[in-house]
Amino acid sequence: MDWFPLWNSLRIAAISTVVIFFLGIWAAYGIAKLPRLVKGVLDVILTLPLVLPPTVVGYLLLRLLGPKRPVGLLFLQLFDTKLVMTWWSAIFATVVVAFPLLYRTARGAFEAFDEDLAYAGRTLGLPNRTVFWRIRLPACREGILAGTVLAFARALGEYGATSMIAGYTPGRTATISTTVYQLWRTDNDALAFRWVLVNIAISAVVLLAVNFLEKRDKKRVRKGAAA
């Protein structure tokens, strides 16, 4: 059994999650402070990939990153590099598709944050950056971590947009999802089922992690209310 699809899926999901983590926190924190109308418009734009069919997302990415399209052509001319049909091309797809999961949970955590804690930090002379990293972010960590885990799981299982922008090449661009489809298409049900079991096992671990984080968050809220 060739384990490349598992390794490739894990590295794509891991890199995507790191990118999503910082982009999601930055967007969630900034947008949470905006007026309601502006926040609503930006919410729709940033959350749209969550409800669009993945193949539509993949098509739009191809229209942007293809070798004959604006961004893709620019990179091809400047760096002699194609942005599609490589293993790391899938990162573009997974970042776009999984980003809303972290963004929404992080924004909810920031909006539920007790601003009195931030005010207290500022009265002690702490700069805004320190207040954010040492007070606000730790207080919202359970929600952010849950969103991070969900984003990782979504990136790991992404198929539609990934297959369109990265394709399927054994040993080069194959992921768990694209491998299952190709094995099913070639009537190799036994091996396809093995990969399905691998995916189910990983997904179960991810869901257990999310449940654990949610329970910790509820316990923290109850302790805060009791205090």
Specify the pLDDT at position 103.
Answer: 92
CB 24 within 8 A of CB 147: yes
Say if residue 13's pLDDT is above 90.
Answer: yes
Other Cβ atoms less than 10 A from the Cβ of 88: the count is: 13
b/e sequence 175-204, b meaning 16+ C-beta within 10 Å: bbbbbbbbbeeeeeeeebeebeebbeebee
Name the pTM for this structure: 0.86
CB 21 within 8 A of CB 102: yes
- Angstrom distance (rounded) from CA 126 to CA 119: 10
pLDDT, one tens digit per residue, over 76-96 is: 888 888 888 999 999 999 999
Say if residue 194's pLDDT is above 80.
Answer: yes
Give me the sign of the Cα torsion angle 202, 94, 181, 168: negative
- Angstrom distance (rounded) from CA 148 to CA 68: 34
- Angstrom distance (rounded) from CA 146 to CA 150: 6
Say if residue 125's pLDDT is above 70.
Answer: yes
Q: Which range among 16-30, 119-133, 145-159, 183-197 shows the weakest confidence by mean pLDDT?
A: 119-133
Say if residue 22's pLDDT is above 60.
Answer: yes
The residues, ordered by sequence, that sit 6+ positions from 43 with a Cβ below 8 Å of its Cβ are 31
% pLDDT > 90, the chain? 31
- Angstrom distance (rounded) from CA 43 to CA 66: 27
Residue with the bigger pLDDT between 217 and 48: it is 48
Where does the pLDDT of residue 31 fall: very low under 50, low under 70, confident under 90, or very high at 90 and above? Answer: confident
- Angstrom distance (rounded) from CA 28 to CA 33: 9
The residues, ordered by sequence, that sit 6+ positions from 163 with a Cβ below 8 Å of its Cβ are 58, 177, 178, 181
Q: At what angle do helices 4-32 and 36-51 cross, to 10 degrees?
A: 170
Tokens 């539609």, located at residue: 160
Specify the pLDDT at position 221.
Answer: 55
pLDDT, one tens digit per residue, over 132-157 is: 888 888 888 888 888 898 899 899 98
CB 121 within 8 A of CB 135: yes
Say if residue 220's pLDDT is above 70.
Answer: no
